[in-house]
Amino acid sequence: MSTMNQTPQNTKTTYRRFKEGDTKFKRSQEQLFKASWTYKCPTYVQQTPPCQGQCPAGEDIRSYLNIVRGIEKPPVGADGKPSMPWQEYAWRRLTECNPFPAIMGRVCPAPCQGGCNRAKVEDFVGINSVEQFLGNYAIEKGLGFAKPEVETGKKIAVVGGGVAGLSVAYQLRKKGHSITIFEAHHKLGGMLTFGLPAYRTPRDVVDAEVKRITDMGGIEVRCSTRVGKDVTMDQLRQDFDAVFIGIGAQAGNKLDIPGADAPNVTDGISFLRDYNEGRIDCAGKNIIVIGGGDTAMDCAAVARRLGAECDAGVSPENQTKVTVAAREANGRQAMHVLRQSSEVVIAYRRHVQEMPCTKHELEAVIEEGVEIQPCVAPVSVVKDASGKATALRVIKVDWVNKKMVPQEGSEYDIPANLIVSAVGQSIDWTGMDAFKNAKNLGNADKALQAVGQPGVFIGGDAISPLTLTVAIGHARIAAEGIDDYVMGREIAKRPKVDKKLFDMPANMQKFGAKFDKVPDGYTRATCDNKNAVHNFDDRADRAIIEAKDLFLGHFSYTPRNERAQNEINAENVLGSSAERLIALTDAQAQAEAKRCMSCGMCFECDNCVIYCPQGAVKRVPKKEQMAGRYVTTDYAKCIGCHICMDVCPTGYIQMGLGGEGN
C-alpha cells in the first residue's frame, strides 16, 4: 500500500496578511461613510464557491462537505433522534445533482479541486475522495433513491442509456414523469460499462449505481434498440411528450495514414469495448497507443495488464500465470495461459506537459511501465507480406508558434503487434440527422432544447464530447427544461452561474422554519423573526466568491488527507485487476471535509461574535438555530465598524445598507 502524492503539496502556509516592506495599515473604514458610525451594517451574502463554479456537474459541494464535517446535521425525527446517519444525509445532498458518486469519485478529473480556494493556503480539498467515500457507503448500505411522491402522467423518451441518458432519467423520474430508455447495446451504462476498465470502476460499482436508477420504478428499458433503425424519431415524437437525445460519442476516430487498414490497427473506443466485453484475452508483445487523453491512458494501462502470450524461450522470471475468467459475452470457459509483459508505447505529437489527460492517470501509467514518446507524429503503418501491421513509422516534430513542424529525415519505426488510435471520438447520427450541426454535434440552445425542434432536448457527448461529469451537468439542465416543457410552462432562462445551488429557504423549512413569502418573508428587516435569516442576500446564481474576498489568515496549515494507493507498478501490473485508489475511512473523510473553507457561506466559526466590540453580533439561541441561521445582529448596537466583515473567514459577511428598526 502506498500513500504516494497524486499532486505535490506545499509544506507551509503561503498566505501572509502583510508582506516585507509594508508600512501602511489598510483600513476597511476608508470604504465606509464614517469611522465611528454609519448606516452600513452586516449583510449576509451567499455566493457560489469556486469548486462548484468549476464542477461541470454543478454539485453543491460546499453543502455536502458541511454535512460531512458536522456543521449541518440531519433533521431530527419524531423520536428526537437524527432521521438518518450523517453519511446518508450527505450522500442524499450530493446525489441531488449527481447520481453516480461512487463512480465519479474514482474517475472524475476533478476540476473542482483546481478551483479550490484552499490551495491559496496550502493545498486543495480532496473533494472527489470524499465523493468516493460517500458513494461507497451508499452501496455498502444498500441505499436507494426515493420514488416520486406524485405521478404527472407525462412520458419522456430517452435515447441512449449512458451517463447522460441515465442521469436525465433519474432527474425526470424524481419529478414524477415516466421514462423509456432506448439503448442500442445489450446493456445500460454507455462508457461506464463499455469504455472504463474495471481497475478504474469495478463492475459491481457500475452495476449498483445504474440499478439504483432503474429501481426507482416508472423507468422502462429497451436495450438492443437503435433509434433511427429499430424505431424512428418521428415515432418517438408522436408517442412521447418529450424526447432527450444522449447518444454519446461512442465511435472512435480511425487513424488516417497509409496502411491504417491493417487488421491489427484499431481505435481506442473499440479496443476498450472489446476488452470490457471479453473479446480480448491478450494484447500482444508490442503495443502502440496514439494520443494523449484519458482514453489513451486507459488503453495503455489495459494493454499492460493483458500482456502477451509467452514466446518459446522466455525466462520464467518474465512470465506469470494469469487467470482469465469466463466471459458472459461469448460464453467461453475460463482458461489459464502463461503470459509475458507487453512493451507499451504512447506516441503523442505534443510535449508531455501538454497532454490533456488527467495528471494522475499519466503518472500511473508511467509507474506501470508505459513508455511515453512525445513530439512524434504518425507517418504510416508498416505492414508485412500478409498485410498485418509490424510497426508504426513516426517523424519527430518541433512546435514553432504553436504550429507543428516535422524534422526532415527524422523518421523511425516503433515495432508493433497492435496499434491503437485514441485520437478522438465521433457521433453516429443515423436516423437523427435533423438534430446535428455542421460540426456533427447536437444543435441546442442554453436550455439544451434542439434549435427549431420543440420538445426535443440534447445533452452529453452529443453536444460536448468531454467528460462524464459534463454529461451529468447537461442532464440536470435538460431535465429542468423538459419538465417546464411537458408541464406547459415557459422554459426558464438559465442563470449566469448554472449550478445546483443551495436553497436556503427550502432547507430552513426542512428544519422547522415557517414563513409565507419566499424570499422576502425571510430576508429583510427580520432580526427579531425566529424563522428567518436577517439581511440575507442570495447572489449564488450570479457570483462566484474569490480568495481575495476571504480572510485566509484564519486558516492554519492542514495537510490533505490523501487516499492510499495500491502499489501497482511495472513488476506487478500484469494480470492485475486491483483498483489504484483506496477509499477514505469515516474519520479521514470528516477530517478532509473540515479543511473546506465554506467559501461564501457561514461555517459557524464564531469570529464575528467574538470580535464584535459592541456585542451587536450574537448567536441565535440554540433551539432557534437551523441550517443557515446561526448568528443575528442587534442593529440598535451596531455602529458599522465592519470588524465582523474583516474577521469572517468565508466572505459571508459584507457591509451593506441596513434600515431603521432592523
pLDDT of residue 473: 96
Q: Could you tell me the sign of the dihedral formed by the alpha carbons of 367, 368, 371, 374, in that order?
A: negative
Q: Grid coordinates in use for 96?
A: 441531488
Query: Cα(443)–Cα(445) distance, rounded to whole angstroms?
Result: 7
- The CATH number for 155-250+444-485, chosen from 3.50.50.60, 3.40.50.300, 3.90.1150.10, 3.20.20.10, is 3.50.50.60
Task: Encode burial over 497-518: b for 16+ CB neighbours within 10 A, e otherwise.
Answer: bebbbbbbbebbbebebebeee
Query: Cα(463)–Cα(427) distance, rounded to whole angstroms?
Result: 10
Please provide residue 415's backbone torsions phi and psi, each rounded to the nearest 5 degrees.
-60, 145
Query: Cα(3)–Cα(121) distance, rounded to whole angstroms?
Result: 22
pLDDT of residue 577: 87
Rg (CA), the chain: 28
Is 388:265 a contact under the CB 8 Å cutoff?
no
Q: 54-143+495-499+555-593: what fold?
A: Fumarate Reductase Iron-sulfur Protein; Chain B, domain 2 (1.10.1060)
Stretches in the chain below the pLDDT threshold 50: 1-5, 32-35, 312, 316, 319, 321-336, 659-662
Residue 321 sits at the vertex; the CA angle it makes with 319 and 327, to the nearest 5 degrees, is: 135
- The CATH number for 34-49+503-539+600-662, chosen from 3.30.70, 3.50.50, 3.40.1350, 1.20.950, is 3.30.70
Paired with 165 in beta bridges are: none
CATH superfamily of 253-426: FAD/NAD(P)-binding domain (3.50.50.60)
pLDDT of residue 43: 87
pLDDT of residue 508: 80
pLDDT of residue 41: 82
Residue 160 sits at the vertex; the CA angle it makes with 154 and 164, to the nearest 5 degrees, is: 85
End-to-end CA distance of the chain: 59
Helix (H) or strand (E) holding 91: helix 86-94
User: Could you tell me where in the chain the CATH 1.10.1060 domains are found?
Assistant: 54-143+495-499+555-593
User: Could you tell me where in the chain the CATH 3.50.50.60 domains are found?
Assistant: 155-250+444-485, 253-426
Span 267-294, pLDDT tens digits: 999 999 999 988 888 888 999 999 999 9
What is the DSSP secondary structure assignment for residue 562, as one 8-state letter? P
